[in-house]
Amino acid sequence: MDTTELLSSIDSEIARLQEARALLAGRDGHVRRGGKPGKKRTLSAEARARIAAAQRKRWAAQKKAAKAA
């Protein structure tokens, strides 16, 4: 296979991949993901308290291991 044929093959493959990407990405080229953009998730007070308690428990275990060492 000479250089011209190789470059032609590469160009056709690039064009095919660009078409496939355009179809997958949509019309404007951007992939749309679920959910509303910019919307933040909020945690309930109970959930925040459980997370904080779990973190304090991890810190206590780490502190205890450091004292033992």
**pLDDT values of the chain reduced to their tens digit, one per residue, 69 residues:** 789 999 999 999 999 999 888 888 776 555 566 666 677 889 999 999 999 999 999 999 999 999 987
Handedness of CA 58, 64, 67, 69 (dihedral sign): negative
Residues with Cβ within 8 Å of residue 26, at least 6 apart in sequence: 32
Instruction: State the pLDDT at residue 27.
Output: 61
Range list of H helices, the chain:
3-25, 45-68
* pTM value surpassing 0.85: no
How far apart (Å, rounded) are the C-alpha atoms in residues 23 and 43?
37
The reported pLDDT for the residue numbered 25 is 77
Predicted local confidence at residue 53, as pLDDT: 98
